[in-house]
Amino acid sequence: MSSPAPQGTDHSHALFIADLAAGAYAAGADRGWWHTGPVTWPFAVIELALPPRPGSDDWLALRFQLEGYPEAPTAQPWDAAAGGPLALARWPGGNARITMAFNPGWRQDALYIPMDREALAGHPDWRTKYACHVWDASKDISQYLRLVRSLLNDEGYTGARGG
Amino acid sequence: MRIYVHTEEKLDPDLVEARAESAVGAAVELQEGEHVLPEDGEEPLDSNATLEEVGVKDRAHVFRGRRHRILVTVEFNNQAHSREFAAAARVERVFRWAAGEHAFDLDPQDAAEHTLALPDESIPPEDVHIGSLPEPEEGRLRFLLVPKHRFEG
């Protein structure tokens, strides 16, 4: 007799772990775009490679809160070494696309992008306005990472925003 | 070793475990009428040769499908430029051509403010092989060069 399929949290956790090993996420990791940090369900730290800028970090860690995955997660900039929220001076800076997405004046525990559960909850119009960038529960975590990567791998990224 | 196999009308690659001495065709489960192209490469690989012989290394990306050459048209500001690309060309490569001197010749600041979209306004990921995108007409693809979104409101 086979075991019943995991439900709820177990199902979300198992699906997330399976997605980390699948082609979409693994390809990004093998291209050097991101790598997986500690996973303590429902949290997971994933670090994204940053383009080089003087005095700035090489990686940006995001701590994801993945409850309900594959429904939309939320993520916050994270200090992987200290195990806590990233100091605001080390948040990514640059053009308006970047400072609006990384917007501590709005929230420090989420990103202001249509992939993020918290941002999307407050902006139902984004589902049509930014339809191509809205989280799609039929896809995996790499869609969120790709959007953040596309924001930061841009001429408009100037490095850590500083003091 | 493992290789990433991109296929037609599926944006994400499949991750395949293979041995360097495996034949290309067997490693990617080639079907009749299909060929295998290295990422951003122009010519199909010899499906009977081994992965090692044709230079497919660990974690390499290849395209498997019936498509080989695709006529790409990019539209911007009521103008259009076209050229052929191999099916294994990444979207990023098409963007560099479209923004470059052989097409719309955008200055670096303008180029940084734009991206490629499909006619349905979806934004294909930069590393998708164009042979994996849905073709409205066989052998042809159409992109729009559009401003990047700024999330506000």
* Interchain CB distance below 8 Å, A27 and B13: yes
Give the CB-side neighbour count of residue B88, counting CA atoms within 13 A.
21
* Interchain CB distance below 8 Å, B112 and A119: no
Asked if B68 contacts B87 with a C-beta cutoff of 8 angstroms, the reply is yes
Q: What percent of chain A has pLDDT over 90?
A: 90
Q: What is the average per-residue pLDDT within B23-31?
A: 97
Name the residue ranges covered by the structural domains of chain A: 8-157
Q: Nearest by CB to B153, which of A22, A125, A146?
A: A125
- Average per-residue pLDDT for chain A: 94
Residue window 20-79, chain B: list those with CB within 8 Å of chain A: 59, 61
Q: What is the average per-residue pLDDT within B25-36?
A: 96
ipTM value > 0.90? yes
A83 touches chain B (CB under 8 A): no
**Residue B127 pLDDT:** 95
B153 pLDDT higher than 90: no
Asked if B128 contacts B64 with a C-beta cutoff of 8 angstroms, the reply is no
Q: Write down all domains in chain B, each with its CATH number in brackets.
A: 2-65 (3.10.20.270), 69-147 (3.10.20.90)
Per residue in A13-24, pLDDT (tens digit) is 999 999 999 999
* Interchain CB distance below 8 Å, A100 and B59: no
**Residue B142 pLDDT:** 97
Which residue has 């955008």 as its token pair?
B106
Over its C-alpha atoms, chain A yields an Rg (Å, rounded) of 16
DSSP state at residue A84? E
* Interchain CB distance below 8 Å, A130 and B121: no
**Residue A9 pLDDT:** 78
* Interchain CB distance below 8 Å, A154 and B112: yes
A5 touches chain B (CB under 8 A): no
DSSP state at residue B45? -
**Nearest-CA distance B109 → chain A (Å):** 7
**Nearest-CA distance A110 → chain B (Å):** 14
Q: What percent of chain B has pLDDT over 90?
A: 94
Residue window 125-144, chain B: list those with CB within 8 Å of chain A: 125-127
pLDDT-derived band at B30, boundaries 50, 70, 90: very high
Per residue in A96-138, pLDDT (tens digit) is 999 999 999 999 999 999 999 999 999 999 999 999 999 999 9
Fold classified for A8-157: Ubiquitin Conjugating Enzyme (3.10.110)
Which helix or strand (DSSP H or E) is residue A38 part of?
strand A34-40
Asked if A92 contacts A156 with a C-beta cutoff of 8 angstroms, the reply is no
pTM, rounded to two decimals: 0.94
Q: What are the start-end ranges of the E strands in B1-51?
A: 2-7, 10-17, 35-38
Over its C-alpha atoms, chain B yields an Rg (Å, rounded) of 17
Q: Which strand ranges, in their side-by-side order, compose the sheet holding B10-17?
A: B10-17, B2-7, B61-65, B35-38
* Interchain CB distance below 8 Å, A155 and B109: yes
Alpha carbon A118 to its chain centroid, in Å, reads 12
Q: What is the average per-residue pLDDT within A78-98?
A: 96
Per residue in B80-109, pLDDT (tens digit) is 999 999 999 999 999 999 999 999 999 998
How many residues are listed for chain A in this entry?
163
Residue B62: CB atoms within 10 Å: 25
Measured between CA atoms, the residue of chain B closest to residue A24 is B12
**Residue A163 pLDDT:** 55
